[in-house]
Amino acid sequence: MSRPCRVAPSLLACDFSRLADEIHQVQEAGADWLHIDVMDGHFVPNLTIGPVVVEAIRRSSQVPLDVHLMLDHPERYLKIFIDAGASYLTVHVEAPGVANPGQMQQALGEIRRLGARAGVSLRPRTAAEAIRPYLDQTDLVLVMSVEPGFGGQAFLPDVLPKVRQIREWFAGELSVDGGITAQTGRLCREAGANVLIAGTAVFRSASYRDAIHSLKG
């Protein structure tokens, strides 16, 4: 079954010299959320956006901000990103600082206490079982379908059984991130995803509206 779903354009692929304009255009075109990739040069080999920019995005947007922390020790940065405007705040199950159950439970609890929705993410090679203990404390599961770090990579179809497995366990928001196109997005929806994150497929398209529409299915 393919379900209707939300689309969260990943700002990593936008033209940052025209950030507010890009945000207005994707919102007009039907973006449900905005996806923001935060990278620290440790958990992933790239550096991107910090809380100052998230706060600027918040002031330029009306839709929920889906903030994806690709950081070591994300637990040190929860409050600063929620204060900056994160609606959903997602940490990686592999990250130092939240890699054991006590640490992860504490981080997810803190995100909710601070008023945001709690997300947990896993790399393509991490098994679904790694996040299973946390699902009752989780609002969003973000399945990575490329190695985190860069936009524009090819979708890894091996993650589809994992999406299907997580959907059997979890009724909340289930997103897939990396290499999403109209074709791979359809496979993810059929596997149970209800949120598609797409950078290149939206921001490098001729029509943001057509791109977002084709992802919604």
* C-alpha separations of 191 from 61, 159, 160, 165, 213 in Å: 30, 10, 6, 9, 19
**Cβ proximity to ligand DX5, 53 vs 105, nearer residue:** 53
Q: CA-to-CA distance for 205 and 29, rounded, in angstroms?
A: 12
- Of the pair 1, 37, the CB lying nearest Zn ion is at 37
The stretch near Zn ion (CB under 5 A) out of 20-28, 74-82, 102-110, 175-183 is 175-183
User: Among this protein's residues, is 210 annotated catalytic?
Assistant: no
- The yes or no reply on residue 200 touching ligand DX5 (CB under 6 A) is yes
DSSP string, 164-195: HHHHHH--SEEEEESS--HHHHHHHHHHT--E
Task: List the catalytic residue out of 32, 37, 66, 72.
Answer: 37
Rounded Cα–Cα distance for residues 149 and 166 (Å): 23
H or E element in which residue 144 lies: strand 140-144
Q: Which residue is nearest to ligand DX5 (CB)?
A: 199
> Residue holding tokens 């985190």?
148
Q: Does 180 bind ligand DX5 (CB under 6 A)?
A: yes
Among 57, 78, 177, 195, binds Zn ion (CB under 5 A): 177
> Measured between alpha carbons, how far is 215 from 181 in angstroms, rounded to an integer?
7
Q: Binding pattern to Zn ion, positions 55-94, x when CB under 5 A?
A: -------------x--------------------------
User: Where on the chain is the footprint of ligand DX5 (CB under 6 A)?
Assistant: 10, 12-13, 35, 37, 68, 146, 148-149, 151-153, 177-180, 197-201
Q: Would you please indicate which residues are annotated as catalytic (active-site) residues? A: 37, 177
